[in-house]
Amino acid sequence: MVLIFPFIGILLSVIDIFINKPFSAKVFPGIIFYAAGYTLIAAFCFVAFLGVLSLFVNLEKPNGKFSKFYNAVVSFTLKIALSACNAKVNVEGTEKIPEGRFVLIQNHKAMFDPIASIAFLGKYEIGFITKPENFRLPIINKFMHRICCIPIDRENARNAVKSINAAAENVKNNICSMAIYPEGTRNKAEGMLPFHAGSFKIATKSGAPIVVSTVEGTELVRKNAPFKRTVINLRICEVISSEEVLSSTTAGLSEKARKIMCDYLGISEE
């Protein structure tokens, strides 16, 4: 995916050289020189394009609609980023994802968890619950807003409840599906952190099924990039039906989802 910019650079350099200069033995070195320049120009233009798109987003305006266009741009951009980091994402089990809206839960090992999920599950129109700091990032915050990501302040219980309720409304009103990391933060140790049962209120309040997912390998990307290949395994494990969601407590759902994840990851539930 990341080779799109060198490809554009080489194509433009060949056109430039053969239009403006006669064929000679110096053409090949010229192509290399021109290609490098055009590659940088292509990459710069793409970043500028993202910046221009961000100008059309007002963070103060309530986001009542999931933008398919911005979602496509985000998915494409994140695939480029993963490719640049020499990361390959294997996705399994998407046939289990139900029709209609759902709540996606996943273990959380690194910043590349949502990057891989948004990039390769983008067609399912999923907004993510994320930490408030991410909404302070220029340009990125605008795109997050248009794909219905919601910041959650876990240090403030009242604000956290508002975020959970807003996410549930997105699912219930068919605006988009929502994803949350029930561990609450990135887990840098082995196994999984205890789950926050309150995360599952998005499902109980909206009556939507829960898609239980695991991701492996994302914690290695920063260490390996860009010279060593990192394989990320993104797996859809099981789906907890709407009927079971509505008849269960958040504590019960949390326990079941955690057991499913542990089984698929091959780790202890403790």
Per residue, the 3-state secondary structure of the chain, as one string, reads CCCHHHHHHHHHHHHHHHHHCCCCCCHHHHHHHHHHHHHHHHHHHHHHHHHHHHCCCCCCCCCCCCCHHHHHHHHHHHHHHHHHCCEEEEEECHHHCCCCCCEEEECCCCCHHHHHHHHHCHHHCEEEEECHHHHHCCCHHHHHHHCCCEECCCCCHHHHHHHHHHHHHHHHCCCCEEEECCCCCCCCCCCCCCCCHHHHHHHHHHCCCEEEEEEECHHHHHHHCCCCCEEEEEEEEEEECHHHHHCCCHHHHHHHHHHHHHHHHCCCCC
Residue 48: half-sphere exposure toward Cβ, Cα within 13 Å = 6
Q: Report yes or no: 212 and 102 within 8 Å, Cβ to Cβ.
A: no
Partners of 180 in the β-ladder: 105
Q: Mean pLDDT by 10-residue block, N- to C-terminus, for the chain (270 residues)?
A: 57 61 52 69 86 94 91 94 92 97 97 96 97 94 97 89 96 97 91 94 98 97 93 98 98 97 87
pLDDT number for residue 9:
54
pLDDT number for residue 18:
62
Tell me how far apart the alpha carbons of residues 172 and 185 are, in angstroms, rounded to a whole number: 25
Partners of 150 in the β-ladder: 129
In this structure, what are the phi and psi dihedrals at residue 266, rounded to the nearest 5 degrees?
70, 40
Residue 110: half-sphere exposure toward Cβ, Cα within 13 Å = 14
Buried b or exposed e, range 74-83, using 16+ CB within 10 angstroms: bbebbbbbbb
Q: How far is CA 77 from CA 222, 225, 250, in A?
A: 18, 17, 35
pLDDT number for residue 12:
58
Partners of 91 in the β-ladder: 234
pLDDT number for residue 20:
65
125: left (phi over 0), alpha (psi -120 to 50) or beta: left
pTM over 0.85: yes
Checking DSSP bridges between strand 210-216 and strand 230-240, what pairing results, if any? antiparallel
Q: Which amino acid is at 216?
A: E
